[in-house]
Amino acid sequence: MTPISEQTFSNPYQTFKREEWKSLNGHFNHTLIAQDIDRLHALNEPLNIQEIEEVYFPLAHLLELHINNYTTLRDNNNNFFQRTQQKLPFIIGIAGSVAVGKSTTARVLKKVLSLLSSKPKVELVTTDGFLYPNKVLIERNLLNRKGFPESYDTKSLLNFLSSMKSGEKSVAVPVYSHMEYDILEREKQKIQNPDILIVEGINVLQVNSQRTQGPGVFVSDFFDYAIYVDAAEKDIVNWYINRFESLRATAFQDPLSYFHKYANLSREESIQMANQIWNEINLPNLQDNILPTKYRADLILEKGSRHFVKTIKVRKI
């Protein structure tokens, strides 16, 4: 699929520079401690209280408006149909490239949304847990295409989301280990009756993840709001290479790590290997499967070269 340029169609987004965006916060005001910030950001992804206050507090305020409207609509439906429909979670999807900072965005959003006045229960699920186990990927000759649409058990992911939107109180989902580079067969994450569910992954806005005939159901069909984390390709490449080098010097040193084989590479060899993985796997996936989904999002967070958000685009209503 060829990426769509912004010039292909009329612009459906309102664009806000960071200075304007931060002034939209209104009433949302909380204090986070240093330990909170340390737990929220990922390796080589800088995060500070200014970023949270100026970007994520206004975003939480905006999402609160949507959540309130969602609740009002449910109440009005109950009145119209003269029945009481149980509360269903408001589901937020977060998409974007490998190394762009989706996980940090998801964790920060989970934290700030939990601080809303209604004190909602917020749960976070990553689609890594819905990757096929390595043994299945090996059988299908897909191990080197991990992260591509065909490497996901999309049916299980759709069943999970359908269960959430059907009102099931407790659902167990698979857990993925980046250390083992595989699904943990004996471990499950239990999602119990959340008010807000955040689903984060590179594939969540894709519409070509099912190879079925006729009309299909897509992951994003279950979302009430979708966010895409964006950055210039050259910056994402640099972040990926820097992260790989940092992991080589830390996590890869653990003999139990799947990537321990890279632990003794020199810095030059490490950079070369990271470039090779990027060019052979992550770049084609970004160009063919991830980037074309950007304009399916309700909101786009555009990052600058230092990993901080510089522009926010919000779909017009």
Binding-site residues from annotation:
96-103
Amino acid at 239: W
Tallying the residues shown for the chain, one arrives at 317
Angstrom distance (rounded) from CA 299 to CA 59: 10
Angstrom distance (rounded) from CA 80 to CA 77: 5
In whole angstroms, what separates CA 173 from the centre of its chain?
Answer: 16
Q: Find residue 150's DSSP bridge partners.
A: none
Structure tokens at 246: 């940092």
Which residues, at least 6 apart from 234, have a Cβ–Cβ distance to it below 8 Å?
none
Can you tell me whether residue 137 is helix, strand or coil? helix
In the annotated binding site for ATP, the residues are 96-103
Sheet of 122-126, strand order: 13-17, 309-315, 299-303, 225-230, 90-96, 196-200, 122-126
Nearest to 4 by CA among 239, 228, 163: 228
